Amino acid sequence: MALSAAVVLLGAPVASFAGSAYFIMDAKSGAVLASSNADDLNHPASLTKMMTLYMTFEAIHRGKLGWNSKIAVSRNAATKPPTKLGLKAGGTVTVREAVDGMIIKSANDAAAAMAEALGGNESNFARMMTQKAREIGMRRTVFMNASGLPNMQQVTTARDMSTLAVALINNYPMEYRLFSQTDFSYRGSRIRGHNNLMYRYEGMDGIKTGYTNASGFNLVSAVRQGNRRVIGVVMGGATARGRDALMASLLDRNMPKATSSSSSRLIASVGSAKTKQVELASAADNVAVDVDTQTTATTRKRIETAPVSAPLAYAAVPNVTVPMDRPVAMDEILNAGKPATGRWQVQIAATPTAQAAKDLLSAAQSKAGNALANASPYTEAVGTGSNTVYRARFVGFGSRDDANSACAALKRNDFDCMLLPSKG
């Protein structure tokens, strides 16, 4: 029973306090189940270590590191403030010790040592982290260090953190299991973690907590119940207990809404060292266009940053040879064999099944209303066999302005979207 209760960094954020936000996503279909301020900038705190760990796993898979490799500990790493393992300058730490330390202890010294091992220095590694964030579809995140220690320019969003969580689960499933550990042995001591909700919430198997004065209490959670898989993000909690209670309540309300699918693959995985990358918006057959939408003003205190260049998101499709010139229309969604005429299209997702695409398009139509009145739902299959994904699109927009208005309406109703010029 579930518990009830090369990137250029520009500008300097000036606000001192982040606001509250949450984002609950069906990881099988990509549907947003609940959200509040999901695209507002907040400070990640130790959620940052999720990306440090992602890049560590990537380095292991590429043969740059082994689990027993020894990493040198610099004075910079050793002098990081708590929480920490207590690494000594001039000493070493194994990759496995550092990984366990980051996951369970949220060790800042281990994160800094790993950053120096992979990036030469922490600043360079932070730039690598931000670039990786763009590659996997995190559009607004900027990393400035490997640990999440306070830096006003280090920002993310609840939506971006859900993207990172899914990328970890999809791209490094064996390593992801380490996030379910409740404690670990470190040089004669038993160290217990503090992801307390994970220890008592049914089906929760990760992934990370975070806290600084500026960020408030943050949490990213992944829950599997039966064939349902949900990712939850809560940011800016006033207390750890309040944050956990909100997450539990959101999961309790939204878990039953999630798709029940036997597929182990999650829809939102975006980019991997082990996968062939296919552009979510176009699979190289269209040119994506930025959407001119404005962020809704709020009365909360906001974090301000200059924009960061953001390449397109990617959907991970293992070892797929993508057919570029033969889109397949799904009869149950659109009877015509090709997209309706019109100069512009809007894509909202790429799903593992045609039915999931149909469900998302239907839900989007019911939410966006008149903005989609003159558009038609359409899917095209990309890939073959079990590796096929289905793009969910609305087609037939006569102008970019019409498509942009539809996209803005979709975003207001918690759907992602991307503008594309029609082919031909």
Closest CA to 44 of 304, 273, 234: 234
pLDDT digits 0-9 by tens, 278-297: 223 222 233 333 333 333 33
264 is catalytic: no
Instruction: Provide the sign of the torsion angle of the four alpha carbons 124, 129, 132, 133, taken in this order.
Output: negative
CA distance 258 to 255: 5
How large a percentage of the chain has pLDDT more than 70?
A: 75
Judged by average pLDDT, the poorest of 46-60, 332-346, 352-366, 400-414 is 332-346
pLDDT digits 0-9 by tens, 76-92: 999 999 999 999 999 99
260 burial via Cβ count (<10 Å: 0-12, 13-18, 19+): exposed
Q: Which domains does the chain have, with CATH numbers?
A: 21-257 (3.40.710.10), 276-290+303-421 (3.30.70.1070)
Single out the catalytic residue among 20, 29, 106, 261: 106
46 is catalytic: yes
Single out the catalytic residue among 20, 35, 46, 261: 46
pLDDT digits 0-9 by tens, 262-279: 766 666 443 333 333 322
CA distance 350 to 290: 18
Query: What separation in angstroms does the CA of 128 have from each of 52, 125, 146, 320?
Result: 10, 5, 10, 27
276 is catalytic: no
Single out the catalytic residue among 20, 28, 49, 132: 49
Please compute the mean of the pLDDT values over residues 374-381 and round it to a whole number.
Answer: 87
pTM here is 0.63
Q: What is the 3-state secondary structure (H, E, C) of 222-253?
A: EEEECCEEEEEEEEEECCHHHHHHHHHHHHHH
Q: Residues 271, 137: contact at Cβ < 8 Å?
A: yes
Average pLDDT taken over every residue of the chain: 79
Judged by average pLDDT, the poorest of 119-123, 224-228, 249-253, 311-315 is 311-315
DSSP one-letter string for 322-362: --SS-----TTT-SSSSPPS-SEEEEEEEESSHHHHHHHHH
Token match 């975003």: residue?
Answer: 411
Q: Residues 224, 173: contact at Cβ < 8 Å?
A: no
DSSP one-letter string for 129-155: HHHHHHHTT--S-B-SSSS----TT-B
